[in-house]
A and B are shown apart, each in its own frame.
Chain A
């Protein structure tokens, strides 16, 4: 079993690997609102669905999922923004796992905004 000191050393040693992916300016950036309101509305399942669908599509290195706090309109949670490099940021509202799968397939893979779920 590793000690906390061992784990801290691993974190420092590997940080450049993870930072390179999360700092990739060419990656599609999916931001899930994970404030208390988002979590209560189902944001955890939405975030996991995005990650799973991105894995399924083989886009591990081309799309990242990050979290934010409350996005400001709690009644529209779970909220998600998708930023494709060179395109305008798109905000999706009242998301769920099935909607996340569709956004990955249509917006992230085929670059077509799913207007059914936008604000």
Chain B
């Protein structure tokens, strides 16, 4: 996948598939270390130690339908080739946290890509999940929540469209 925002979507979809009601995505750029840092935390079912140990193996999945098991390995490969790393934390019943980091200036650094495109998908497809996105870019910040978008649009004649448009506007403005 060519953009970090696509991996974010993949990680968020994993979280929703694990039964998460809340997904917190934190992105940090232009910090003092020159690193891009991303974490995706959820309150889903989590993984037992054996599943966690094998989570980066290509093709390993606990799902019984379709194929799968390549999202985390692909992300692992991408951050390694960009001179970065990945860490996973999870506990059965306690959710999961994926953290990655890599030097922003590395020749193989993944571009962030279109996060708004990712958020509109999550906004419309998962009405009962709150996805919070926080991007700290140096001293500026962008804070967005799908639940807040839905709340702000709830009284509109067309709430779905209003939440969609508000989401687009927040990301068009970017961190402030």
Contacts and interface: CB of A to CB of B under 8 A. Distances in A.
Q: Do A and B bind each other?
A: yes
Interface of A: 1-2, 4, 7-8, 10-11, 14-15, 17-19, 21-22, 32, 34-37, 39-40, 44-45, 47-48, 51, 55, 60, 65-72, 74
B161 A55 contact: yes
A18 B150 contact: yes
Given A36-B71, A40-B6, A51 B120 contact: yes
Given A39-B10, A44-B6, A19 B66 contact: no
B32 to A, nearest CB: 24
Contacts of A45: 117
A47 B6 contact: no
Given A17-B154, A66-B125, A71-B66, 19 more contacts: A2-B148, A10-B148, A11-B21, A14-B150, A15-B128, A18-B128, A21-B160, A32-B125, A34-B13, A36-B74, A44-B117, A48-B117, A48-B120, A51-B124, A51-B164, A60-B160, A70-B63, A70-B66, A72-B66
Contacts, number: 107
Given A4-B22, A7-B145, A60-B158, A65 B125 contact: yes
A19 B161 CA distance: 17
Contact of A67 (B1, B118, B121): B121
A67 B13 contact: yes
Contacts of A10: 147-148, 150-151
Interface of B: 1, 6, 9-10, 13, 17, 21-22, 63, 65-68, 70-71, 74, 117-118, 120-121, 124-128, 130, 132, 143, 145, 147-148, 150-151, 154, 158-161, 164
Residue in A15, A51, A74 with the greatest tally of chain B CB atoms within 10 Å: A51
Contacts of A39: 1, 6, 9-10, 13
